[in-house]
Amino acid sequence: MSLTMDGKRGNNSPPVRQIGVVSAVFIIFNRIIGTGLMWLVGAAIAAAGMQVYIIWGTALPHNGGEKNYLEHLFPRPRRLITSIYAANAVLLAYAAGNSLVFAEYALASIMSSTSFENSTSLLSPVRAVAFFCLTGTLLLYGLHACAGLRLQNALGFLKIGILIIVVAAGFIALCGNLETRVPRPGNPDNWEKVWEGTRTSGSVLCSCLYNVIWSYVGFSNANYALSEMHNPARMLCVAGPLAIVTVTIFYLLCNIAYFAPHRKRRLRARAG
């Protein structure tokens, strides 16, 4: 007996295919959004990685993502890849780190950070919020996946709305006479030190590219839920590139919106 998506028990019933194009796009979009030329290079690298996952996803359209692909490549010893992934999830506890960061941001938005940042008790506010975040997510997607899907779609639209506000504010400041209070970035036009580095750290260019690539992480997110998609092969081919293009456009527009007012202010200073 197995538990189906609607909470009813069935005899090994297959997952309900309820993920459409919009939900598939936001599965990827929400994982990536969460920093030029660098952004275009990062988008090209993410698009290449997305193409690899599209090929694997169309060949093995099942839940699990790269765990399934590695198991297909290394079938022996049996369950080796599954055990490695289970150990990685339990021992490294990457989801716990994300929930702690969420808890810190959530508490900082409603109270002073000094009231909880030094707390080391087991029931500290940060740990309590992180625990309820993980537990609530588990219960939501475990007991009512449809509600969880609607929630992640709503969060995706919310993120798009926030990005539109950021982009619009920057362009309004550029086109109008508004004075921006954002501090000017340190020496953005200096290319003399772009290749400088040390024996223990890479160049500025490498560091920037690494940060950009990290900002695009998440393009494989939809591959973990292919069994629940309508026509998963076609859906992945549409949603994957669409999500990458959408994220790239917003990243570029946010950069333009941030730097353009500073450029306008500098030109005014020179003209004066």
pLDDT value at position 109? 81
CA atoms of 238 and 102, how far apart (whole Å) = 30
Which run of H or of E encompasses 2? strand 2-3
For residue 145, the tally of other CB atoms under 10 A from its CB is 20
- CA 18, 140, 233: angle at the middle one, nearest 5? 25
Whole-angstrom distance, CA of residue 100 vs CA of residue 37: 33
pLDDT digits (tens, 9 = 90+) for 190-242: 556 656 665 556 666 777 778 888 888 888 888 888 888 888 888 889 988 99
This model's pTM is above 0.85: no
Q: Give residue 1's pLDDT.
A: 40
First-to-last CA distance in the chain? 78
Of 152, 146, 136, 145, nearest to 29 by C-alpha is: 152
Per-residue pLDDT of 14-55, as tens digits, reads: 667 767 777 777 777 666 654 457 788 888 899 999 999 999
Distance between CA atoms of 5 and 85, rounded to whole angstroms? 24
pLDDT at res. 52: 92
Task: Let me know: does 166 contact 155? Beta carbons within 8 Å.
Answer: no
Looking at residues 75-96, what average pLDDT do you find? 82
Report the range of poorest mean pLDDT among 93-107, 116-130, 140-154.
116-130
